[in-house]
A and B are shown apart, each in its own frame.
Chain A
Amino acid sequence: MHTLIRRACNPQDEGAWRDFVEQYRRFILYILQEMNVATDEIEDLSQQILVTLTRDLPGYDRSKGRFRSWLSAVIRHAALSHLSKQRYRKKRMADYIEDREVDWLNGRDASEITQMIEDEWAGYIGKLAMDRVRPAFRGNAMEAYELFLDGHSAAEIASITKLTVSSVYTLRKRVKRRLYLEIRAITAELEPPAAG
């Protein structure tokens, strides 16, 4: 399969590489924001992480673990080392300031952070997929599906959307099928394929 990631690893295909990097860059920026890294440092830090990613990705060995775990480890390491350097610097400059970010990171163990990044990655791919699915459906199919994601029952959705319960089920099935296919497709684009 000619996935984006495989094309991106081909040094000849610069366009694919740019597209691929862009998808990661957006995610990394987002994650760093979520981790409350200071805005003026996000750009720098994300560049560092991308350099690591692009250096290591072609050699990534799927058999050693899930891609998203590896990805979150890369980000976590980069973020922590950046923050500890920064704390050290800040301590020297103004050691009375308690750093919110460091506190936030220190308060959690590595697995918790990894889990957070992993979930964000899953949600990130889910959202990309959802954005691709949305234009494919008309009427209130998407509305019904969003309501389903928010935890509403089919009966509630039916009364909100003025659809019959069976229509709600049918629409949910259709959107879900399309969404899952898109998720698989985007996963294949952005994550290295299984070895072998």
Chain B
Amino acid sequence: MENITKNITEQEIWKLLEQVYDPEIPVLSVIDLGIIRDVKLNNEAIEVFITPTYSGCPAMDVISMNIRMALLQQGFTTIKITQKLSPAWTTDWMSDAGKEKLKSYGIAPPLSKSFDINYFENLTIECPLCHSINTKLISQFGSTSCKALYQCNDCKEPFDYFKCH
């Protein structure tokens, strides 16, 4: 195994991390989410810097473990995963490809406007199923920390909206 890591570059690690998915929203990789801050390679030791999406998000622990597993499979033995809180993650860090994937998965992606303390959502959210913009907010809090619950007034389907943060 030890030979495998020899010629791997940081760029290839980034590529590899595209295969590590969010356990709650399995269409999004950690790259799509924009939570990988940095990757540092030093011979056989590797350090990955990640930033949490939400303080209490239980997926973060699973994501850290999955990153570790992916690196172990590449033959790394000294793996450090460091959580970096600042600058705080916002939904703007999510890639455009990620937003498209969310939409086709049935979750309305966050609107591009990033969140600040003066920002209160009174937004037009498009139904990811029938694309109507005639939708209403059911609850600011949904099935996970990152989502709000909406309903489409036209097709009547309830749907998740990945809220701005």
Instruction: State yes or no: do A and B come from one complex.
Output: no
B interface residues, Cβ below 8 angstroms from A: none
A interface residues, Cβ below 8 angstroms from B: none
